Structure 1
Amino acid sequence: MYVKTKHYLLLLGCILSIFSAAQSVQVLSAGTKSSFRGLSVVDDQTLWVSGSAGTVGRSIDGGKSWQWLSVKGYEKTDFRDIEAFDAQTAIIMGIASPAYILKTTDAGLNWTKVYENRDTSMFLDAMDFVDPQHGIVIGDPLQGRVFMAKTADGGNSWQEVPLNERPAVATGEAFFASSGTNIRLYSPNEYALASGGKQANLFLSGKKTNLPLIQGKETTGSNSIALKGKKTLMVVGGDFMTKDSTTLNCFISTNGGKTFTAPKNGPHGYRSCVEYLGQKSWIACGLNGVDITSDEGKNWSWISKESFHVCRKAKNGSAVYFAGGGGRIGKLISN
């Protein structure tokens, strides 16, 4: 029995090594020096990015060529998140003071302001859509509760969620606008939300559960959450001031967030984004590189040391792209 088990583990290790060795990240020429934290991949060929200095980029040939623009009138706005629906239609989120949400239906030539908030404490963090009509945007706490606004008409209008219906947070608890992925919708009215800072918690449609991620400082906690149905979810984070630290930076739940398990061999540093790829495969990226797992998060392989803020899989396809600082854009490739 021992010999058979030993051989099985060796075989499994070889399979995982072969899988990770077959994956790498190709850095694409971006042509801009903006820092990108917004990334939306429509299909294998169509992707949009957004970031600092009012910059938005669009590619319809898999990142080989790009249309770049600085949104007129918003040249100083940091667009930390973007949701694209096709080659013509996208929504961008400007984080703060004032906070804006803009929409284009003509490939970025013109933008319509669909939401504005001039509260000096306003700071938007992330946005997610469950379908082309229903979306949500979240922001740092106001009056001790998570800021939330929803749309049911494809982002043409946004309605702020009443204060008493928003989750309450602890002092020093907030949300990182690091990759636009700390909020994920299950349905128009069901969400998974991960916080960070002095506390790191999981909110499942309002129900609050403490996360085992590192926490206690303003720079610690969860940065991203990804879903595999309603039962399985992955959270990543760490401390963005110690990018190489592997302490309590990744956990997975297979029972809908009731309990969490740490990887046997986790991601190799702070991770700002995690994405579910299919079957038992997930990918995560951060300031010191990219990790991938093919065994439901038990073992992660460091496949690139290129720095990225965000990684997203095509909504309609299998391509995986990355975006980060210094105009860096990448693509997952098989060797």
Structure 2
Amino acid sequence: MKLSLSFFTGILCLLSLATFGQSISPLTKHPESGFRGLDTHGERVVWVSGTRGTVGRSTDQGKTWEWVGPKEYSDTDFRDIAVFSKNEAVIVSAGSPAVILRTVDGGKSWEQVYHNDDPEIFLNGMDFQGNRGFAIGDPIDGFFQLLQTTDRGKTWTDVSGSLLLFAEPGEVGFAASGSGLQLQGDNLWIGSGGSFAAVFRRNEKKMLMYKMLTPIISGAASQGIFSLSFWNDQIGVVVGGDYMNDQHNEHNVYLTYDGGDNWIKPIQPVGGYRSAVKYITKQRLVATGTSGTDISEDGGQHWNTISTDSFNVVGKSKSGKRVYLAGSNGQISVLLWR
């Protein structure tokens, strides 16, 4: 009976892989570093950022890489990166002091455009839409920290107090993949965890802030929403779980079809803790984490685990034909559909 069950399980897995026709292929490995920042530009440009001040840049779809991290920041963990071209990018650090650096020459030189040595500052990630962007940080004195830029990160303004990003005791953000916030259309979305797993929605036109609780597992410092992705102002997904128990897959992924007012559990969940999720198309989504990578082909209702390799972050080319994954072991891979 056990042999039969294993046999049929294997057949189903093979059929699933054949149906979706995808493969994950290694591109390069930088074993001295771990990556949590990843962004792309167009169809050919990919950048990554991570520990030990490491920044990687490829202009040929990941076939070859230049390591262009700022040498004077070799002890800094750059948890997120935003890319505007093959030469222009912004990186943000985790921990104190918090720094944001910017390059316009492909990493040959870096300019420090933000510095904060408050011992409590901890920036988790950033997101841009055109020239406008935000960076989010853990709460200080009961409010999540929020920085705003309107010039592609050349200058930053602290807008924490004006947005009323109130945090409950024990509520935090996560710097697991830089995707705990998203600037999409007229809305800024922010996910939280720890004591509460909530989604903040700030409407940029109406200047209204909403905070909506989600059913994602929470209550401990290692639990909550680690990543979110919205297709439009109504349709979105949140993923997370417990990074201390990354095989556990209950209450790790939820969907919304009404802008976060209600959250729906998928029919088939992701395979475990997931630190990053992204819409590739309206129907195709990819989620990844230290216990594996999942794909959904029906808008997030059914997820299939295609690999149990450990990754932290996911990004896509402009067309979505290439999806990139990077992880704590320095591995950078590409997910392709055949």
The TM-score, its normalising length taken from structure 1, stands at 0.92
1:80 maps to 2:83: no
Q: Is the 8 A contact 2:182 2:228 kept in 1?
A: yes
Residues 58-77 of structure 1: per-residue CA shift (max 9 Å, x gap): 01111111001331211111
1:44 corresponds to? 43
Residue 6 of structure 2 is matched in structure 1 by none
How far 1:165 sits from its partner (Å)?
A: 2.3
Counterpart of 1:192? Answer: 189
**Counterparts of 1:301 and 1:243, CA distance in 2:** 16
Displacement after TM superposition at 1:20 (Å)? 5.1
Q: 1:308 to 1:20 in 2, by over 3 A?
A: farther
Read off the aligned partner of 1:168 and give its amino acid letter. Answer: F
The aligned runs of 1:146-295 (5 Å cut-off) are 146-187=144-185, 190-205=187-202, 206-295=209-298
Gaps of 5+ in 2: 1-11, 203-208
Aligned to 2:120: 121
Question: Which letter maps to 1:156?
Answer: K
Q: Is the 8 A contact 1:20 1:303 kept in 2?
A: no
Distance 2:284 2:138 in 1: 31
Verify the 8 A CA contact 1:84 1:91 in the aligned structure 2.
yes
Query: Which is worse superposed, 163-172 or 291-300?
Result: 163-172
Which amino acid in the other structure matches residue 164 of structure 2? R
Please tell me the residue identity of whatever aligns with 2:193: G
Label 1:50 to 1:18 Cα distance change in 2 as closer, same or farther (>3 A).
Answer: closer
The answer to whether the 8 Å contact 1:274/1:282 transfers is yes
What's 1:24 paired with?
Answer: 23
Which residue identity lines up with residue 307 of structure 2 in the other structure?
Answer: S
Is residue 136–residue 147 contact of structure 2 (8 Å, CA) maintained in 1?
Answer: yes
SS class of match (1:77): coil
- Contact 1:52/1:78 (<8 A) preserved: yes
TM-score (norm 2): 0.91
8 Å contact kept, 1:101–1:116 = yes
Distance 1:112 1:20 in 2: 47
Matches of 1:24 and 1:249, distance apart in 2: 24
Distance 1:316 1:172 in 2: 39
Shift of the 315–143 alpha-carbon distance from structure 1 to 2, 3 Å rule, reads farther
- Structure 1: which 5+ runs fail to align? 1-12
Match of 2:95, as an amino acid? Answer: A
Residues 20 and 247 (structure 1 numbering): CA distance in 2 closer, same or farther, change over 3 Å?
Answer: farther
Partner Cα distance (2:74, 2:211) in 1? 38
Q: Which residue in 2 is equivalent to 1:306?
A: 309
1:315 aligns with 2:293: no
Change (3 A) 1:296 1:324: same
The residue identity in structure 1 corresponding to 2:219 is G
Give the fraction of aligned pairs with identical amino acids, expressed as a percent: 38
Opposite residue 42 of structure 2, the aligned amino acid is D
Q: What is the root-mean-square deviation in Å for CA atoms of aligned residues? A: 1.6
Q: Which residue of the partner structure matches residue 3 of structure 2?
A: none
Aligned partner of residue 329 in structure 2, secondary structure: helix
Query: Number of residue pairs matched?
Result: 320
